[in-house]
Structure 1
Amino acid sequence: MASPNLPPSTTALRVFLAVARLGSTAKAASAVHLTQSAVSKQIQALEEHLGIALFERSPTGLKATEAGTIYRPYAEAAIEQMERGARRIAERTALGRPIRLHLVAIAGERWLMERFPSFAQAHPEIDVQFTNFISESQTEDSDIDIVHGIGPWPDREAHYLFGRQVALVAAPALLERMGGFTSPADIQKMTLLQHFQMPAFWAEFTEAHGLRGAVPAHTVRYGYYSVIIRAAMAGLGVALAPRCYVAEELASGTLVNPLSLGFDSTVGCWMTLNPRGQRGPGVEALVGWLREEAARFEAEASA
């Protein structure tokens, strides 16, 4: 009758399986890195624990008894489950530290937040903490940064995401009030709604449409694209905005793209990482997902 004491050690189970597989205590000793004497003692202790012999001698070595044959798959399953548990703990430890994702506000509002639930549901073990831009000197340390800029960055691993396709947008009522928009030069009679971090957009637009040196009638600068988009919808001026950020308004007609005017900018939205930072499987999974979703987002905006 089996002992009511604690279950046998993993060492005893590994020794038992090695002897069952190899048919020899000497060979098993080499496989499990123990002495032959220690292997024999482990088998003896296991047999005493179970109250029955697990092996018998045969002309070719040790052979499992009927009890040993019955016990073997359970021992294998026990070892497999314990190894799986150890791997799971190791993975959870690697994933345990929250991933800090720093991103510009518009990328969260127009792209990430509505898509992120699918990632969270697929990876409930990955804790992602979102941080936002405050100032150049007041940003939290992050694992992943999503920023607007001109890549690549020499000291960062960088992946382009989206946003290079820029469109001129305006409210239909504004264009009607201003007498329509018949040529690119008409932008000079408009108020330009400009992101303070994207002053190059005007130069890129005028260069692309043969208007070098042109200036708008008036410029109003904002710190957030969400405010620029709302201002454009309210008819306060025209804006140069990444097409992917205004795709919904263009589709609904609340904003229009007069004469299909736009350009391909050198500025885009990029994901950057510290190439020397610690990167567990959680970061790798998130980075891969972000790149796939970004490609889909840009393709949808271009369709």
Structure 2
Amino acid sequence: MDWDKLRIFHAVADAGSLTHAGDALHLSQSAVSRQIRALEEGLGTTLFHRHARGLILTEQGELLFEATSSMAKKLESASARIRDSEEEVFGELRVTTATGFGTLWLAPRLTKLYAKYPDLKIDLMLEERVLDLPMREADVAIRMKEPTQADLIRKRLLNIRMRLYATAQYLKSFGTPEKIEDLQNHRMICQTPSTPQVQAGAQLGQQVLAYDQASTLTVNNYFGVLQGVLNHIGIGILPDYLTADFPEIIRVLPDVESVEVPVFLAYPEELRSSRRVTAFRDFIQEEILAYRRFQSERKTED
């Protein structure tokens, strides 16, 4: 059905006159009349009873006017939201990141984002596979390496390291290792070697497991590793960004850590002006600044 003809029909039905509708649409009466006749022919029905004092909708015309009125209200609402979009953030935003970062750092902080933008709909996709942003498999990505795909805006958020952590209760029961060789006397918790993970974490895992511990716990994600550590099962390999939210974990062997792992935020060039993407980017940067302040204060205290 021709949208232009429907627009003209709605104006005529609303005004009850070809002349008045033409004035509102800046069309001649004859042009309006031709469009109405063409619409009636296309639908195979009469939409108006023509009287000397104006036009009256037929039963079929009333059905169509009800539909166009609903469409007009929706279009008016959409136009208003578009005009107001400089202040509002709403709609769906698809975010992809690694399972560990998404579950342990990002998801708990989304409360603040929703408080600021309650109409936002976030689809959080947690997986190690790198989704294709230019092909719009996701809108925004947070990854533990610099994206190589073309036509992306990218920003380095922070650097993280994989380190060894345990609880005070575990260390009280089993002792605190003083050198890396002492790890052979402890139960180690780390990601399963075959699990997709950042190379730095895998290398640190290989280093500590080389001491042939009698007992280990391997899990296919960092959430499981963290739960093992928090429940005093052993010493775990975890990303250092967890220390802000889990102060009960204590770093073990401060000289043992992975190389730096860069964390990047990226999104397609075509979404540069998206209010949803801008709001999410600003939110992430604010949270990263808060995390850096925490790290700085912690170092000062140490």
- Asked if TM exceeds 0.5, the reply is yes
Asked if 1 retains the 8 angstrom alpha-carbon contact of 2:225 and 2:237, the reply is no
Q: Residues 187, 286 of structure 1: CA spacing in aligned structure 2 closer, same or farther, 3 A cutoff?
A: same
Q: Residues 213, 125 of structure 1: CA spacing in aligned structure 2 closer, same or farther, 3 A cutoff?
A: closer
What is the match of residue 201 of structure 1? 201
Q: Equivalent residues in 2 for 1:249-264 (5 A)?
A: 249=246, 251-252=247-248, 255-263=249-257
1:87 and 1:137 map into 2 onto residues whose CA distance is 34
1:144 Cα offset (Å): 0.5
Q: 1:109-158, CA deviations, whole angstroms, 9 ceiling, x for partnerless residues?
A: 333334323322323454333223286789992101123x2325353433
2:121 and 2:241 map into 1 onto residues whose CA distance is 27
Q: Secondary structure at the match of 1:194?
A: strand
1:183 and 1:213 map into 2 onto residues whose CA distance is 11
Which of residues 196, 220, 235 is equivalent to 1:223? 220
Q: Equivalent residues in 2 for 1:1-303 (5 A)?
A: 88-92=81-85, 97-133=91-127, 141-147=137-143, 149-151=144-146, 153=148, 155=150, 156-162=152-158, 164-195=160-191, 196=195, 197-198=197-198, 200-201=200-201, 203=203, 215-218=210-213, 220-249=217-246, 251-252=247-248, 255-263=249-257, 265-276=259-270, 279-302=273-296, 303=298
**Segment of structure 1 superposing worse, 236-245 or 265-274:** 265-274
Aligned residues: 216
Aligned sequence identity (%): 15
Q: Residues 109, 96 of structure 1: CA spacing in aligned structure 2 closer, same or farther, 3 A cutoff?
A: closer
Pick the structure with greater CA Rg.
1
Q: TM-score, normalised by structure 2?
A: 0.56
Q: Residues 153, 216 of structure 1: CA spacing in aligned structure 2 closer, same or farther, 3 A cutoff?
A: farther
Partner AA of 1:258 in structure 2: V
1:228 Cα offset (Å): 0.2
Q: Secondary structure at the match of 1:289?
A: helix
2:24 and 2:280 map into 1 onto residues whose CA distance is 36
Q: Residues 216, 295 of structure 1: CA spacing in aligned structure 2 closer, same or farther, 3 A cutoff?
A: farther
Asked if 2 retains the 8 angstrom alpha-carbon contact of 1:190 and 1:216, the reply is no
Q: Secondary structure at the match of 1:258?
A: strand
Q: Give the structure with the higher percent strand.
A: 2
1:214 Cα offset (Å): 8.0
1:200 and 1:134 map into 2 onto residues whose CA distance is 15
Give ranges in structure 1 of 5+ residues lacking alignment.
12-84, 207-211
1:223 Cα offset (Å): 1.9
Give ranges in structure 2 of 5+ residues lacking alignment.
1-14, 26-77
**CA RMSD of the aligned region, Å?**
4.1
1:294 Cα offset (Å): 1.9
Asked if 2 retains the 8 angstrom alpha-carbon contact of 1:95 and 1:280, the reply is no
1:229 Cα offset (Å): 0.8
